[in-house]
Amino acid sequence: MYRSLLVAILVLVQQPAIGWAGSTFTLGQPVPSDRRVSIDQIDHAAWDVLLRKYCDDDGLVDYQSWHGSEQDRTTLTQYLAHLSRADPARRAGKTERMAYWINAYNAVTIAGIMREYPTTSIRNHTARLVGYNIWKDLLLTVADHTYSLEQIEHEKLRKMGDARIHFAIVCASIGCPRLLNRAYVAGRLEEQLEGNAQNFFANRRNFRYDSVRRQVELSAILQWYGDDFGSGRQALLSAIADWLPDAAARKLAASGQATIRYLDYDWNLNDQKTKKSHAE
Protein backbone atom coordinates (compact mmCIF):
# COMPACT_ATOMS: atom_id res chain seq x y z
CA MET A 1 0.00 0.00 0.00
CA TYR A 2 2.78 2.41 0.97
CA ARG A 3 4.62 1.72 -2.27
CA SER A 4 1.50 2.57 -4.30
CA LEU A 5 1.03 5.78 -2.33
CA LEU A 6 4.64 6.78 -2.92
CA VAL A 7 4.31 6.16 -6.66
CA ALA A 8 1.13 8.27 -6.77
CA ILE A 9 2.85 11.15 -4.99
CA LEU A 10 5.82 11.00 -7.34
CA VAL A 11 3.51 11.13 -10.36
CA LEU A 12 1.74 14.20 -8.97
CA VAL A 13 5.01 15.98 -8.20
CA GLN A 14 6.14 15.56 -11.79
CA GLN A 15 3.05 17.30 -13.16
CA PRO A 16 3.84 20.91 -14.16
CA ALA A 17 0.67 22.71 -13.19
CA ILE A 18 -1.54 20.78 -10.80
CA GLY A 19 -1.93 20.80 -7.06
CA TRP A 20 -3.65 22.62 -4.25
CA ALA A 21 -3.31 26.31 -3.50
CA GLY A 22 -1.48 27.49 -0.44
CA SER A 23 -2.07 30.57 1.72
CA THR A 24 -3.20 33.54 -0.36
CA PHE A 25 -1.78 37.05 -0.25
CA THR A 26 -3.95 39.91 -1.48
CA LEU A 27 -2.77 43.16 -3.06
CA GLY A 28 -4.82 46.29 -3.53
CA GLN A 29 -7.89 46.97 -1.41
CA PRO A 30 -11.68 46.65 -1.55
CA VAL A 31 -13.29 49.78 -2.97
CA PRO A 32 -16.84 50.93 -2.18
CA SER A 33 -19.10 51.05 -5.22
CA ASP A 34 -19.40 54.85 -5.11
CA ARG A 35 -15.60 55.21 -5.48
CA ARG A 36 -15.15 52.83 -8.40
CA VAL A 37 -14.42 54.10 -11.90
CA SER A 38 -14.33 52.75 -15.41
CA ILE A 39 -11.10 51.06 -16.48
CA ASP A 40 -10.46 53.86 -18.95
CA GLN A 41 -10.18 56.29 -16.03
CA ILE A 42 -7.30 54.41 -14.40
CA ASP A 43 -4.03 56.34 -14.57
CA HIS A 44 -0.87 54.27 -15.14
CA ALA A 45 1.57 57.18 -14.73
CA ALA A 46 3.01 55.96 -11.40
CA TRP A 47 3.71 52.54 -12.89
CA ASP A 48 5.35 54.20 -15.88
CA VAL A 49 7.71 56.17 -13.60
CA LEU A 50 8.71 53.03 -11.71
CA LEU A 51 9.40 51.08 -14.90
CA ARG A 52 11.53 53.85 -16.38
CA LYS A 53 13.50 54.04 -13.14
CA TYR A 54 14.13 50.35 -12.51
CA CYS A 55 13.77 48.51 -15.83
CA ASP A 56 16.33 48.73 -18.65
CA ASP A 57 15.82 48.49 -22.41
CA ASP A 58 16.40 44.72 -22.30
CA GLY A 59 13.58 44.26 -19.80
CA LEU A 60 15.86 43.46 -16.87
CA VAL A 61 14.86 44.82 -13.49
CA ASP A 62 17.02 46.40 -10.80
CA TYR A 63 15.21 44.48 -8.07
CA GLN A 64 17.93 45.16 -5.51
CA SER A 65 17.58 48.94 -5.73
CA TRP A 66 13.79 48.84 -5.99
CA HIS A 67 13.54 46.49 -3.02
CA GLY A 68 15.84 48.80 -1.08
CA SER A 69 13.68 51.86 -1.68
CA GLU A 70 10.85 52.00 0.85
CA GLN A 71 9.41 54.99 -1.00
CA ASP A 72 9.20 53.21 -4.36
CA ARG A 73 7.89 50.00 -2.83
CA THR A 74 5.16 52.16 -1.30
CA THR A 75 4.51 53.76 -4.70
CA LEU A 76 4.00 50.28 -6.18
CA THR A 77 1.60 49.41 -3.36
CA GLN A 78 -0.32 52.63 -3.98
CA TYR A 79 -0.50 51.92 -7.72
CA LEU A 80 -1.95 48.48 -7.04
CA ALA A 81 -4.52 50.10 -4.74
CA HIS A 82 -5.34 52.51 -7.57
CA LEU A 83 -5.93 49.52 -9.88
CA SER A 84 -8.46 48.29 -7.31
CA ARG A 85 -10.68 51.28 -8.14
CA ALA A 86 -11.45 49.88 -11.60
CA ASP A 87 -14.89 48.43 -12.17
CA PRO A 88 -14.64 45.91 -15.03
CA ALA A 89 -18.43 45.91 -15.32
CA ARG A 90 -18.48 49.52 -16.49
CA ARG A 91 -18.13 50.40 -20.15
CA ALA A 92 -14.53 50.86 -21.37
CA GLY A 93 -12.75 50.52 -24.69
CA LYS A 94 -10.95 47.31 -25.61
CA THR A 95 -7.54 48.99 -25.81
CA GLU A 96 -8.04 50.54 -22.38
CA ARG A 97 -9.06 47.19 -20.94
CA MET A 98 -6.13 45.37 -22.52
CA ALA A 99 -3.60 47.97 -21.34
CA TYR A 100 -5.10 47.84 -17.84
CA TRP A 101 -4.86 44.04 -17.49
CA ILE A 102 -1.35 43.86 -19.00
CA ASN A 103 -0.12 46.48 -16.54
CA ALA A 104 -1.97 44.74 -13.72
CA TYR A 105 -0.37 41.37 -14.54
CA ASN A 106 3.13 42.82 -14.70
CA ALA A 107 2.77 44.98 -11.59
CA VAL A 108 1.37 42.09 -9.53
CA THR A 109 4.24 39.89 -10.70
CA ILE A 110 6.82 42.48 -9.69
CA ALA A 111 5.11 42.94 -6.32
CA GLY A 112 5.16 39.17 -5.84
CA ILE A 113 8.88 39.00 -6.57
CA MET A 114 9.50 41.91 -4.19
CA ARG A 115 7.87 39.90 -1.41
CA GLU A 116 10.37 37.08 -1.97
CA TYR A 117 13.50 39.03 -2.90
CA PRO A 118 16.29 38.06 -2.92
CA THR A 119 15.33 35.07 -5.03
CA THR A 120 16.71 33.45 -8.17
CA SER A 121 13.52 32.40 -9.95
CA ILE A 122 9.76 32.71 -9.80
CA ARG A 123 9.72 28.92 -9.93
CA ASN A 124 10.98 28.92 -6.35
CA HIS A 125 7.51 30.19 -5.43
CA THR A 126 5.17 28.02 -7.50
CA ALA A 127 4.45 25.02 -5.28
CA ARG A 128 2.88 22.12 -7.17
CA LEU A 129 1.30 20.44 -4.18
CA VAL A 130 0.84 21.98 -0.74
CA GLY A 131 2.08 25.54 -0.32
CA TYR A 132 2.10 28.98 -1.87
CA ASN A 133 1.94 29.27 -5.65
CA ILE A 134 2.49 32.84 -6.82
CA TRP A 135 0.44 32.28 -9.99
CA LYS A 136 -2.59 31.03 -8.06
CA ASP A 137 -2.31 32.56 -4.59
CA LEU A 138 -1.13 36.13 -5.18
CA LEU A 139 -4.35 38.07 -5.71
CA LEU A 140 -5.21 41.56 -6.87
CA THR A 141 -8.41 43.14 -5.59
CA VAL A 142 -10.37 44.83 -8.37
CA ALA A 143 -13.64 46.44 -7.23
CA ASP A 144 -15.11 43.66 -5.05
CA HIS A 145 -13.39 40.67 -6.71
CA THR A 146 -9.90 39.22 -6.50
CA TYR A 147 -7.90 37.93 -9.46
CA SER A 148 -4.86 35.67 -9.48
CA LEU A 149 -2.17 35.97 -12.14
CA GLU A 150 -3.61 32.87 -13.81
CA GLN A 151 -7.07 34.43 -13.88
CA ILE A 152 -5.78 37.70 -15.31
CA GLU A 153 -3.96 35.83 -18.07
CA HIS A 154 -6.55 33.20 -18.97
CA GLU A 155 -9.88 34.80 -18.07
CA LYS A 156 -9.14 38.40 -19.02
CA LEU A 157 -6.28 38.81 -21.49
CA ARG A 158 -6.43 35.63 -23.56
CA LYS A 159 -10.17 36.03 -24.04
CA MET A 160 -9.57 39.36 -25.79
CA GLY A 161 -8.31 37.41 -28.79
CA ASP A 162 -4.99 39.18 -29.38
CA ALA A 163 -2.09 36.72 -29.15
CA ARG A 164 0.40 39.57 -28.83
CA ILE A 165 -0.39 39.69 -25.12
CA HIS A 166 2.06 36.78 -24.82
CA PHE A 167 4.84 39.21 -25.78
CA ALA A 168 3.68 41.77 -23.21
CA ILE A 169 2.94 39.94 -19.95
CA VAL A 170 6.06 38.94 -18.06
CA CYS A 171 6.59 36.19 -15.47
CA ALA A 172 9.84 37.74 -14.18
CA SER A 173 12.05 35.26 -16.02
CA ILE A 174 14.86 35.59 -18.56
CA GLY A 175 12.85 33.42 -20.95
CA CYS A 176 9.91 35.83 -20.87
CA PRO A 177 9.45 38.65 -23.34
CA ARG A 178 11.14 41.81 -22.13
CA LEU A 179 9.35 43.81 -19.48
CA LEU A 180 8.70 47.01 -21.40
CA ASN A 181 10.13 49.93 -19.43
CA ARG A 182 7.00 51.98 -20.02
CA ALA A 183 3.43 51.41 -18.93
CA TYR A 184 1.06 50.16 -21.61
CA VAL A 185 -1.47 52.85 -22.52
CA ALA A 186 -4.44 52.78 -24.85
CA GLY A 187 -3.17 55.55 -27.12
CA ARG A 188 0.07 53.69 -27.88
CA LEU A 189 -1.03 50.10 -27.35
CA GLU A 190 -0.80 49.00 -30.98
CA GLU A 191 2.70 50.44 -31.32
CA GLN A 192 3.78 48.92 -28.00
CA LEU A 193 2.44 45.45 -28.77
CA GLU A 194 4.02 45.42 -32.23
CA GLY A 195 7.32 46.70 -30.90
CA ASN A 196 7.51 44.06 -28.20
CA ALA A 197 6.56 41.29 -30.64
CA GLN A 198 9.40 42.31 -32.95
CA ASN A 199 11.79 42.60 -30.02
CA PHE A 200 10.78 39.13 -28.83
CA PHE A 201 11.76 37.43 -32.08
CA ALA A 202 14.92 39.51 -32.47
CA ASN A 203 16.25 37.76 -29.34
CA ARG A 204 18.07 34.48 -29.96
CA ARG A 205 16.62 33.08 -26.77
CA ASN A 206 13.23 33.18 -28.49
CA PHE A 207 13.92 32.65 -32.20
CA ARG A 208 16.59 31.03 -34.37
CA TYR A 209 16.55 30.06 -38.03
CA ASP A 210 18.36 27.23 -39.78
CA SER A 211 18.14 27.82 -43.54
CA VAL A 212 19.76 24.46 -44.41
CA ARG A 213 17.28 22.43 -42.40
CA ARG A 214 14.44 24.87 -43.18
CA GLN A 215 13.78 24.91 -39.47
CA VAL A 216 12.76 27.64 -37.03
CA GLU A 217 13.50 27.34 -33.34
CA LEU A 218 10.95 29.09 -31.16
CA SER A 219 10.44 29.99 -27.52
CA ALA A 220 8.47 27.46 -25.51
CA ILE A 221 5.85 30.21 -25.10
CA LEU A 222 4.79 29.46 -28.68
CA GLN A 223 4.44 25.79 -27.76
CA TRP A 224 2.37 26.46 -24.64
CA TYR A 225 0.08 28.99 -26.30
CA GLY A 226 0.35 28.07 -29.95
CA ASP A 227 -3.41 27.73 -30.38
CA ASP A 228 -3.81 31.43 -29.60
CA PHE A 229 -1.96 32.16 -32.86
CA GLY A 230 -3.98 29.70 -34.94
CA SER A 231 -4.75 26.02 -35.18
CA GLY A 232 -1.76 23.95 -36.22
CA ARG A 233 1.83 24.49 -37.31
CA GLN A 234 1.08 26.34 -40.55
CA ALA A 235 -1.23 28.82 -38.85
CA LEU A 236 1.34 29.51 -36.13
CA LEU A 237 4.13 30.10 -38.64
CA SER A 238 1.95 32.37 -40.74
CA ALA A 239 0.89 34.37 -37.68
CA ILE A 240 4.45 35.13 -36.56
CA ALA A 241 6.03 35.59 -40.00
CA ASP A 242 5.88 39.40 -40.09
CA TRP A 243 7.64 39.71 -36.73
CA LEU A 244 10.69 37.63 -37.69
CA PRO A 245 13.95 39.57 -38.10
CA ASP A 246 15.28 37.67 -41.13
CA ALA A 247 13.74 38.09 -44.60
CA ALA A 248 14.37 34.47 -45.60
CA ALA A 249 12.84 33.25 -42.34
CA ARG A 250 9.81 35.48 -42.89
CA LYS A 251 9.30 34.05 -46.36
CA LEU A 252 9.64 30.46 -45.19
CA ALA A 253 7.35 30.98 -42.20
CA ALA A 254 4.72 32.68 -44.37
CA SER A 255 4.73 29.60 -46.61
CA GLY A 256 4.04 27.40 -43.59
CA GLN A 257 6.65 24.89 -44.77
CA ALA A 258 9.22 25.23 -41.99
CA THR A 259 9.68 22.63 -39.30
CA ILE A 260 9.60 23.82 -35.69
CA ARG A 261 11.81 23.02 -32.74
CA TYR A 262 11.09 24.53 -29.34
CA LEU A 263 13.86 26.00 -27.23
CA ASP A 264 14.49 25.39 -23.55
CA TYR A 265 12.93 28.02 -21.31
CA ASP A 266 15.13 30.04 -18.97
CA TRP A 267 13.38 30.47 -15.62
CA ASN A 268 16.19 32.50 -14.04
CA LEU A 269 15.04 35.83 -12.61
CA ASN A 270 15.09 38.78 -15.02
CA ASP A 271 17.41 40.59 -12.64
CA GLN A 272 19.95 43.23 -13.70
CA LYS A 273 22.38 41.51 -11.33
CA THR A 274 22.46 38.61 -13.83
CA LYS A 275 23.58 40.94 -16.59
CA LYS A 276 26.25 42.48 -14.36
CA SER A 277 27.64 39.10 -13.31
CA HIS A 278 27.92 37.97 -16.94
CA ALA A 279 29.77 41.17 -17.84
CA GLU A 280 32.38 40.69 -15.11
One domain, residues 95 and 194 = yes
pLDDT category at 10 given cuts 50, 70, 90 is very low
- Do residue 138 and residue 189 come from a single domain? yes
Average pLDDT over residues 113-118: 98
By residue range, what is the domain housing residue 234? 207-262
User: pLDDT over 90 for what percent of the chain?
Assistant: 89
**Cα–Cα distance, 155 to 148 (Å, whole number):** 10
Q: Looking at the structure, do residues 187 and 227 belong to the same domain, yes or no?
A: no
* Res 18: pLDDT: 31
Model confidence over 92-112: pLDDT tens digits?
999 999 999 999 999 999 999
Residues composing the chain: 280
| Whether the predicted pLDDT of 82 surpasses 70 | yes
Laid out side by side, the sheet with 25-27 consists of 25-27, 138-142, 145-148
Give yes or no: residues 92 and 215 share one domain.
no
pLDDT score, position 146 = 98
Section 12-33 average pLDDT: 67
What distance in Å separates the CA atoms of residue 40 and residue 60, rounded to the nearest whole number? 28
Question: Do 34 and 118 belong together in one domain?
Answer: yes
Full-model pTM: 0.91
Q: Which helix (H) or strand (E) holds 235?
A: helix 233-240
Average pLDDT over residues 136-164: 97
Q: What is the pLDDT of residue 259?
A: 96
Domain boundary among 152, 168, 201: 201
- 25-31 mean pLDDT: 97
pLDDT attached to residue 98: 98
Give the residue-averaged pLDDT of 153-162. 98
Structural element, H or E, at residue 140: strand 138-142
Q: Are residues 196 and 246 in the same domain?
A: no
Tell me the average pLDDT of the chain.
Answer: 92
pLDDT number for residue 177 = 98
pLDDT at 56 over 60: yes
- Is residue 274 very low, low, confident or very high in pLDDT (cuts 50, 70, 90)? confident
Q: Note whether 278 and 268 are within 8 A (CB).
A: no
Within a domain: 273: no
pLDDT at 28 > cutoff 90: yes
Q: How many domains does the chain have?
A: 2
Paired residues of 148 in beta bridges:
139
End residue of a domain, out of 159, 175, 201? 201
